[in-house]
Amino acid sequence: MEKIIQGDLWKNVIYPKFTGKDVLPLEFNFDDYETNKELGTNTLVHKLGAGYVKIGCLPPKARSLLENIFSAVLYHSCDRALGNEKVFRKVIAELKYLEEEGVRIVLPDGTVKRVYFALSLVTGDN
């Protein structure tokens, strides 16, 4: 599987917006799941959704580690009938913050850097 940073979208569209900055790609994934599914067909009231974020340029082995997968949102699936913007509003705000402001990190040698993140992929089931 090709990493996002090897593709044309990253090279020609996303990365040029961050000239002179350290930037990492983010992937946002979401899916619905049912709790109490073994109870029968009336379990749709227990259907939940989860959204999580991963850094898109990590090696495959590191990408699958739970320490590199970040919970972003939990929601009741029927709330999506109100519109995705309402369900994902806070996630969108956080992603914009990471893109515009970044995060300040201190490296082991004491150097302080600011790292920015760019949403580069959104996936979901159904």
The pLDDT value given to residue 1: 45
Q: How far apart are CA 119 and CA 10, in angstroms?
A: 10
Nearest alpha carbon to residue 116 among 28, 15, 29, 7: 15
Helix H or strand E segment including 2: none
Mean pLDDT computed over every residue of the chain: 88
Backbone torsions φ then ψ of 9, nearest 5 degrees: -60, -45
The pLDDT value given to residue 13: 94
Residues 96, 67, 3: CA angle, nearest 5 degrees: 65
Q: How far apart are CA 43 and CA 125, in angstroms?
A: 19
**What digits encode the pLDDT tens for the residues 48-69?**
889 999 998 898 889 889 999 9
Instruction: Give the residue ranges of DSSP H helices in the chain.
Output: 8, 60-63, 84-100
**What digits encode the pLDDT tens for the residues 2-38?**
578 889 999 999 999 999 999 999 999 998 887 766 6
